[in-house]
């Protein structure tokens, strides 16, 4: 073979080998770094831009896509110990001309974490209102979406700041009493009885505990490689002390049933989406909301657990779009009447 041709193949092979080796090394040695790169790439591919907003000395981190238009903007509030990027799976199925905003909840990811902050549900709702005013999102009423803890905050927000929102989507929201104990609630009771409350199932510190948490939160069984489980744990461990403090705050009497205590004040049209096989928060909470909120539309998803956003992203995105279209059609009919 011609030496020049051989050299060309060697150079090409070396060029290809470097990124492959880098990927393998990251996967084996630094899986947490790979996870961060993954979210960065996904945000970039979907056109989501990260920005910061300040309220006095408090900083909010958020991502957004699009600009305010004739359709309501959408603000998304994530759940306990998650971050703004959890919504990317749904963003993928939403039109690019919709104005979307995903914010890191108080103390999470890029948003300020302070030992002096009020992490109760009403305290978080107040902080989110400050964020909304910072970016002037409430120049026009917007659609608010929240899941789990974020659903609790979203419901309380809708009750406390009704002029800010035009409609509401609650996905498996916390903050409701239940006639049926979920698997998670039973586990918590067992831990309390054995004085092992530090071992909260939603705060894993080993790959095995992370796998158990994923099984608890989802009906769909995802096959997650051990290295990825390790990476997910590595990302969370530095924040676990905060998560424990936050968890105790939101299950305290002050916050435990915040949504239930405020739901009679919710006047905006409300959509409730719940996984039928939710093992964290029992699906019976959907009927509690339906009986208390006048204009409430309930959708129960079969073969779906608590992680609705991850398990059924396309279906969830479509339900939100259909709900907004229904409200728009209703408004037009009222104007024409």
Catalytic residues: 148, 278, 306
Question: How far is 3 from 46, CA to CA, in rounded Å?
Answer: 45
Q: Please, which residues bridge with residue 275 across strands?
A: 301
19, 148, 311, 315, 318 from 89: Cα distances, Å: 26, 16, 9, 11, 12
Question: How far is 129 from 35, CA to CA, in rounded Å?
Answer: 30
* Alpha-helical regions (H) of 171-219: 183-193, 207-217
For the CA atoms of 29, 233, 145, 156, what is the dihedral angle to 10 degrees?
A: -150
Question: How far is 13 from 215, CA to CA, in rounded Å?
Answer: 41
Q: Is the dihedral of CA 155, 270, 158, 321 positive or negative?
A: positive
25, 79, 119, 224, 230 from 255: Cα distances, Å: 44, 15, 9, 33, 32
Contact 63, 51 (CB under 8 A): yes
């Amino acid at each position: 073979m011609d030496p020049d041709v051989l050299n060309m193949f060697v150079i090409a092979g070396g060029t290809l080998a470097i990124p492959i080796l880098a990927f393998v090394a990251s996967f084996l040695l630094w899986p947490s770094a790979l996870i961060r790169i993954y979210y960065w790439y996904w945000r970039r591919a979907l056109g989501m831009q990260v920005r910061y907003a300040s309220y006095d000395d408090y900083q909010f981190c958020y991502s957004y896509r699009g600009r305010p238009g004739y359709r309501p903007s959408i603000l998304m509030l994530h759940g306990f110990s998650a971050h703004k990027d959890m919504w990317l799976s749904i963003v993928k199925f939403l039109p690019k001309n919709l104005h979307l905003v995903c914010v890191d909840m108080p103390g999470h990811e890029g948003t300020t974490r302070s030992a002096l902050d009020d992490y109760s549900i009403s305290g978080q709702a107040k902080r989110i209102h400050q964020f909304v005013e910072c970016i002037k999102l409430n120049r026009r009423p917007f659609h608010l979406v929240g899941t789990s803890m974020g659903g609790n905050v979203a419901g309380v927000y809708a009750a406390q700041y009704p002029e800010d929102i035009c409609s509401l989507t609650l996905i498996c929201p916390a903050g409701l009493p239940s006639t049926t104990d979920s698997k998670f609630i039973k586990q918590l009771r067992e831990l309390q009885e054995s004085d092992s409350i530090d071992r909260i199932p939603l705060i894993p510190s080993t790959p095995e505990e992370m796998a158990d948490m994923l099984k608890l939160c989802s009906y769909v069984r995802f096959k997650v490689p051990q290295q990825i489980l390790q990476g997910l744990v590595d990302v969370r461990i530095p924040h676990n002390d905060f998560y424990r403090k936050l968890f105790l705050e939101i299950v305290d009497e002050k916050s435990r049933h915040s949504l239930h205590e405020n739901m009679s004040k919710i006047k905006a049209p409300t959509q409730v989406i719940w996984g039928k096989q939710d093992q964290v928060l029992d699906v019976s909470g959907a009927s509690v909301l339906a009986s208390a909120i006048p204009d409430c539309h309930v959708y129960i998803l079969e073969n779906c657990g608590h992680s609705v956003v991850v398990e059924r992203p396309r279906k969830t995105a479509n339900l939100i779009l259909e709900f907004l279209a229904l409200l728009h059609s209703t408004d037009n009919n009222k104007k024409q009447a």
